[in-house]
Structure 1
Amino acid sequence: MGKIRVLSDQLINQIAAGEIVERPASVVKELVENALDAGATRIDIEVARGGRERITIRDDGEGMSHEDALLAFEHHATSKLRVAEDLERIASLGFRGEALPSVAAVSRLALRTAERTAGGAAGGTLVEIHGGVIRDVRPIAWAGGTELVVRDLFFNVPARKKFLRADTTESAHIARTVTHYALAWPAVHFTLLSGTRRVIDVPPVRSLDERIHQLFGDEFLADMIPLNTQEEGVRLSGFISGPHQRRASTEAQYFFVNGRMVRDRLLATALSQVYRGIIPGGTYPAAILFVEIPSAEIDVNVHPAKTEIRFRQSWQVQTFIRRTLETAIRTHRPFASLADWTAPAEQPDTPAGEAVTGDPGSAADAVRQRVREALADFSTQPTSPMERRFAFTSVRTGAPDALTLSIDRHPETAAPPPVSGAAVKDTGRWQVLGQWRESFIVAVSPDELLVVDQHVAHERVLYEAFRRQLGERAVPRQRLLVPETLELSPAHREEMDRVANQFAAAGFEIEPFGSGGTVVIKAVPAMANRVEVELLVRDILDRLGDIGASFSIDEVQRRVAAALACHAAVKIHTPLEPEAMQNLVDRLLSAEEPTTCPHGRPVVLRLHIRDLEKGFKRA
């Protein structure tokens, strides 16, 4: 007897479902697309236990007849295609005829639908399917539109079910999926109910910016740069963030091609390339990008889930997108990159600090003006060429507006336990000479010249102090005189619920406000009393976004501490008192890991006496 056998229909359906239904959010995606293709103007989604227990989707679309309701569960049965050429001009979200049978193959599904006619809704149809097997088909009274109830997802595929994350994680994925479609279809009313909580409720609006306001709030929109450019049949529209609004993850990036939600490497790469050198490594811009292109120029049939696409002329499209993004940033950015200008030559006829003639809106002119102002300030320093080259603030005189660091004045930064003794941590070895460019501390030891980045050094000190507080469950809390309200995206709200206990342990007091995504911040860790609270909380949520269901408390604490230290640390271009500089250096040398900041960047650059002697040919 031969070894090759034809698989049963049930097994075929389960294999096909594995390509389309990855998690509960995949079910929501497919069913929402069906509702949109049916012309729905309102789509209501309800989920229980992150969608693994129940997903209900109702729409007011055109509905289905009795015959179509049965055909919809047959593989490759679709109303979108007739001939092969239709694939080249497909405009609907769904077209393969695989979504419903795939979902029905791995769940207990009930469909209620009625076709809308000129005289109102006709009689409805109920179809119940368990694990791909039809259990019941009968006529029912139904007002019109369609309702799908999906229960016990993956009940018959335990291998797939065990890979689902925590309920809150799956709910966050669903919220992000619904957010995508709400952005792409602002004229449609979307609601999302997770358990008893209303996560999304966005009535129809006329424009994308109104929908962004509904989902993310005014502050998010205020920092975004609008786009709307067309070239050779390709249009790019939407919004991107300015250089100062950056995230710790790609959670705030939404890509669409012809209204279809996509995970596209071409768009992500173009965005990343444009922001390289503008925002720090390891951070990401926010972006809501829509590409409109003739259907014949893309292939949406790459994967059954239809989230991957191919551009026929990918290089030209990527070049257009990158050029459009670069132009938008350059136009709206108040400063230019180093590539936009060259160092000014000597100009004896132009007094230092005098305004440069030219277009006042030119970013390059603005930079040149700031350079001249800096040179004017610099001219007040020692005037000989050698003195000017090496000028820095002396520890004897300090700076008139210098900041005195409070790293040794608060209980949250009490001295660390004694460090066992490598010579590198002998705090008597380093003597601070001064501050250079109000950003770097210059110090010496018996054998070395050292340059310390004051921001990352302070970051390391604060990070270790806060980790000790968390470990000892003794985080001092500072109540805000005026509580701050914060509008969170649906995904961020789910993330906040998931790690609420860790936020409380870290010294935050945050409570929900109303039924939407608004929260009220009433208290913060004492170490954060000088930071922008909203930016700090958003940054923490971004940093926690990719932690899985089985996250460790230590990993959460590490990320919270890293975010807090980054925001609370003294910034560059900040003058420091001599005592503060010496204090910071001493505390750094007492740290457990004084060589890098919590993000892995170096803290100190060293120049050994041997290297100096070699440079002066004394070796």
Structure 2
Amino acid sequence: PEEKIHPRPNASDLKMHKEQSILEKQNSYLESGDPSTKINENVSPVSFAEMESDYSNDDVQSSLQALLPFNSIYEESGKNPIETQETRKKEYFKGLSLIGQVFDSYIICEDPTTNEMILIDQHAAHEKIIYESFVNQLKDKAILSQVLIQPFALNMPETEKTLLLASERALSSLGFEIDDFGPNMLLVREAPSIFPMQTSISFLEELKDMLLKTSTVDSMKSEEMIYSIAVKACHSAIKANDRLGKIEIESLLADMDDLSNPYTCPHGRPTVVRIGRSEIEKYFNR
């Protein structure tokens, strides 16, 4: 089979603010083994006309609420019809006609069946791919880890090291394998494969802070941890102003087809905007 080539991620900072709790709904997604409990799947991409007329920051629900894969900023408002995985055309994004990239930030495609130009925010889309992948691995208790060629040594107080070692099993469920490396030193031998090295270490540091607050890491219930995953997905994703090659763009589009909701990033902003031919022609008085 053809090997997917993914865009090489970069790291940068994004300031995100917690606004409201997602614990109850996130638990129902992560913990439920009931087949009837499903992700409330996809919402159609917002149209350019809708964005121009009444889309504003006030329409975007809180960053924490939007972390839920089954949530959408447009579902409650009724601005777009609900589109499920069954109704969405199979390999829809992969089947779009690729036009190119603009401003090294947005992917331009054409949907010949609807006479629409499709604009995709490459950072938001890749961020959602990383986030859903990690959360699904978390749900399945199958986090993919990578053995570090050069283990990473962390310096920390002995009390913090002892706490991490005592939570070794919980950390292993999140993709980390750690060892005692002497006084005030902890050795990280494995880390989640989906994040770059420095992002994984930052994630481990945040898990340590959670442990200091609660003395336990419950990988299925921690609201703070889910929020941290979304931030790490953002830091790991390709960025605006990253020039992508044709193979990288095609890989991104194919991965979007695997998402339960490809139309919003983890914190609620649109990933896809559709612009109809008639809307474009208005600018030329046609």
SS in structure 2 of the partner of residue 592 of structure 1: coil
Taking a change above 3 Å as real, the CA distance of residues 477 and 590 of structure 1, as seen in their structure-2 partners, is closer
Tell me, in whole angstroms, the C-alpha distance in 1 between the residues paired with 2:158 and 2:273.
43
CA distance in 2, matches of 1:603, 1:540: 29
Q: Distance in 1 between matches of 2:217 and 2:195?
A: 28
2:259 corresponds in structure 1 to 591
Matching of residues 521-536 of structure 1 within 5 Å: 521-528=188-195, 531-536=198-203
Report the Cα offset of residue 423 of structure 1.
5.0
1:97-176 equivalence runs, <5 A: none
Check if 1:482 corresponds to 2:150: yes
Shift of the 532–466 alpha-carbon distance from structure 1 to 2, 3 Å rule, reads closer
Shift of 1:500: 4.4
| 1:520 to 2:187 alignment | yes
Give the 3 Å change call, closer, same or farther, for CA 614–501 of structure 1 in structure 2. farther
Q: Give the corresponding residue for 1:262.
A: none
- The DSSP-based 3-state class of the residue aligned with 1:483 is strand
Shift of 1:552: 6.5
Residue 483 of structure 1 deviates from its aligned partner by 1.3
Structure-2 residue corresponding to 1:280: 15
Q: 2:92 aligns with which of 419, 426, 450?
A: 426
Aligned pairs for 1:347-366 (under 5 A) are none
Q: 1:122-172 CA distances to partner (integer Å, 9 max, x unpaired)?
A: xxxxxxxxxxxxxxxxxxxxxxxxxxxxxxxxxxxxxxxxxxxxxxxxxxx
CA distance in 2, matches of 1:482, 1:515: 20
Q: In the superposition, relative to structure 1, how do residues 419 and 459 fare at CA in structure 2: closer, same or farther (>3 Å)?
A: same
Partners of 2:159 and 2:285 in 1: CA distance: 61
The structure showing larger relative contact order (alpha-carbon pairs under 8 Å, at least 6 residues apart) is 2
- The secondary structure found in structure 2 opposite 1:457 is helix
More strand by share: 1
* Alignment correspondent of 2:220: 553
Contact 2:98 2:108 in 1 (8 A): yes
Relative to structure 1, the CA distance from residue 419 to residue 495 in structure 2 (aligned partners, 3 Å threshold; closer, same or farther) is farther
Matched, 1:444 2:110: yes
Query: Residue 527 of structure 1 aligns to a residue in which SS?
Result: coil
Residue aligning to 1:414? none
Aligned residue number for residue 55 of structure 2:
none
Structure 1 contact 441–452 (Cα < 8 Å) conserved: yes
CA spacing shift, 1:600–1:617, aligned 2, 3 Å: same
Aligned length: 208
Deviations 1:520-544 (A, max 9, x none): 2111122235655433433555688
Q: 1:491 & 1:424 partners in 2: Cα distance?
A: 52
Please list every run of 5 or more consecutive structure 2 residues that lacks an aligned counterpart in the other structure: 1-10, 19-83
Q: Match of 1:501?
A: 169
Relative to structure 1, the CA distance from residue 423 to residue 615 in structure 2 (aligned partners, 3 Å threshold; closer, same or farther) is farther
* Length-normalised TM-score, structure 2: 0.57
2:279 corresponding residue in structure 1:
611
CA contact (8 A) 2:207 2:217 kept: no
Q: Distance in 2 between matches of 1:460 and 1:424?
A: 19
SS of residue paired to 1:481: strand
State the shift of 1:458 in Å. 1.3
1:455 maps onto 2:123 in alignment: yes
Contact map agreement 1:432 1:442 (CA 8 A) in 2: yes
- TM-superposition CA deviations, 1:275-326 (whole Å, max 9, x none): xxxx53339xxxxxxxxxxxxxxxxxxxxxxxxxxxxxxxxxxxxxxxxxxx
**In structure 2, what is the equivalent of residue 348 of structure 1?**
none
2:246 is matched with which residue? Answer: 578
**Distance in 2 between the 1:431 and 1:490 partners?**
57
- CA, structure 1 residues 492+594, in 2 after alignment: closer, same or farther (shift >3 Å)? farther
CA distance in 2, matches of 1:553, 1:502: 10
Task: Name the SS of the counterpart of 1:562 in structure 2.
Answer: helix
Structure 1 residue 617, shift from structure 2 partner: 3.0
Deviates more, 1:531-540 or 1:592-601: 531-540
Equivalent position to 1:568, from 236, 239, 243: 236
What one-letter code is carried by the residue in structure 2 that aligns with 1:422?
A: R
Q: For residues 582 and 613 of structure 1, do their structure 2 counterparts lie closer, same or farther at Cα, with a shift above 3 Å needed?
A: same
**C-alpha contact 1:508 1:522 (8 A) present in aligned 2:** yes
In the aligned structure 1, how far is the partner of 2:120 from the partner of 2:210?
26
Query: What CA distance in whole angstroms lies between the structure 1 residues aligned with 2:12 and 2:155?
Result: 15
Q: Is the 8 A contact 2:176 2:190 kept in 1?
A: yes
Residue of structure 2 equivalent to 1:345:
none
Provide the rounded CA distance (Å) in 2 between the counterparts of 1:609 and 1:547: 55
Corresponding letter in the other structure for 2:111: S
> Larger Rg: 1 or 2?
1
Contact 1:536 1:567 in 2 (8 A): no
CA distance in 2, matches of 1:543, 1:603: 31
Contact 1:530 1:568 in 2 (8 A): no
The CA distance in 1 between the partners of 2:214 and 2:125, in whole Å, is 27
Return 5+ residue gaps in structure 1 as ranges: 1-243, 247-278, 284-417
TM-aligned CA deviation for residue 245 of structure 1: 9.2
Contact 2:167–2:216 (CA<8 Å) still a contact in 1?
A: no
User: Would the alpha carbon gap of residues 476 and 588 (structure 1) be closer, same or farther in structure 2, given more than 3 Å must change?
Assistant: same
Q: Tell me what 1:129 maps to.
A: none
Relative to 1, partners in 2 of residues 1:542 and 1:459: Cα closer, same or farther, differing over 3 Å?
farther
Could you tell me the percent identity over the aligned residues? Answer: 26
Instruction: Name the counterpart of 1:327.
Output: none
Distance apart, 1:578 and its partner CA:
0.4
Q: Which amino acid aligns with 2:148?
A: L
